[in-house]
Amino acid sequence: MSLLPYNGLALDRASARRSDEAWLSSARRHPDARVLAFWRDGCLTRDGQPVTVSEEPHVFLGANGRAGVFAVDLSELDESTARTRTGADAVLDVRRLFPVVDAQEAATLAYARGMLHWHRNQRFCGACGGASVARQAGHQLECASCGRLLFPRIEPAVITLVTSPDGARCLLGRHRGAAPDAYSTLAGFVEIGESLEDAVRRELVEEVGVRVAAVRYQASQAWPFPAGLMLGFRAVAESEEVAVDQEELVAAHWFTREDLRALQATHRAAGTDRQDSIESHLLQTWLDEG
Ligand SMILES: [Zn+2]
């Protein structure tokens, strides 16, 4: 299986070094060290490529040999000041950079975006309201008042390709407000007290009224947009009867492989396909089986 987008970061996260100030400082001063800069979830870029800046970083991402890779959040500046100060000409979403940077750069940028988003949204302790202070090179926050430790938050979501009992068709749904031909696999967040398989079964009953026999884990994908971890499953429906929950979906249909290839061709032609998501992988795996 080829690597899914944003997975397989090659940087050494060097978790044992995160409290070693001397080592971090040397990694920061290395001639190949990089500090990536973000502004409100967007990456500061010049000519379509991320800029490297000299600002004091907020987070250590990892090491490339002895050179450190860091990230800084400039959201407190206004956008034009952030651009001028860093020599950037744009602020681009990481998912928009995905087609033009290599796989390692995409994984690094996604990781940086997720870490900085967490910092920006965890400025205070949820227990006492005290200010949080960075520890472990930005991988922990500690409440300055009560000492509570806060860890980067990851929100798991299940995404499932459901096939018909005979395996010849797959079930895709269209969300409320989506374009007329925007059919996608079914997905939802895992709730507290659920296993991943429980979440898959619940989501399918809630959204499309489908009970499934086997549920099989297929692959996972880092999805820090802003804090997701996507867990991809394959499930086999007990029957082809569908009862769509009109709150979330407007329709759900069974697609043959031929139908799905035609739908994908339409999306490619319109430029609306999303090649960086695990959904493409789940669909392609099923297409390749037929
Ligand atoms: Zn506190």
The pLDDT profile of the chain, 290 residues, written as one tens digit per residue, is 568 999 999 999 999 999 999 999 999 999 999 999 999 999 999 999 999 999 999 999 999 999 999 999 999 999 999 999 999 999 999 999 999 999 999 999 999 999 999 999 999 999 999 999 999 999 999 999 999 999 999 999 999 999 999 999 999 999 988 888 899 999 999 999 999 999 999 999 999 999 999 899 999 999 999 999 999 999 999 999 999 988 889 999 999 999 999 999 999 898 888 789 999 999 999 999 98
For 196-234, give one letter per residue: b (16+ CB within 10 A) or e.
bbebbbebbeebbebebeebeebbbbbbbbebbebbbbb
How far from 141 is each of 59, 113, 136, 229, 240, CA to CA, in Å? 11, 17, 8, 21, 49
CATH of 155-288, one of 3.40.430.10, 3.40.50.1860, 1.10.10.10, 3.90.79.10: 3.90.79.10
CATH of 15-121, one of 1.10.12, 3.90.79, 3.40.630, 3.30.1070: 3.90.79
User: Which tens digit of pLDDT belongs to each residue from 52-99?
Assistant: 999 999 999 999 999 999 999 999 999 999 999 999 999 999 999 999
How far from 204 is each of 65, 233, 234, CA to CA, in Å? 46, 12, 12
Residues with Cβ within 5 Å of ion ligand 1? 125, 127-128, 130, 143, 145-146, 148
pTM of the entire structure?
Answer: 0.95
Expressed in angstroms and rounded, the spacing between residue 133 Cα and the centre of ligand 1 is: 11
Check for a shared fold between 15-121 and 155-288: yes
Expressed in angstroms and rounded, the spacing between residue 132 Cα and the centre of ligand 1 is: 8
Expressed in angstroms and rounded, the spacing between residue 123 Cα and the centre of ligand 1 is: 11
Expressed in angstroms and rounded, the spacing between residue 236 Cα and the centre of ligand 1 is: 46
Instruction: Give the per-residue pLDDT at 274.
Output: 77
The domain spans of the chain are 15-121, 122-152, 155-288
Expressed in angstroms and rounded, the spacing between residue 22 Cα and the centre of ligand 1 is: 29
Expressed in angstroms and rounded, the spacing between residue 137 Cα and the centre of ligand 1 is: 20
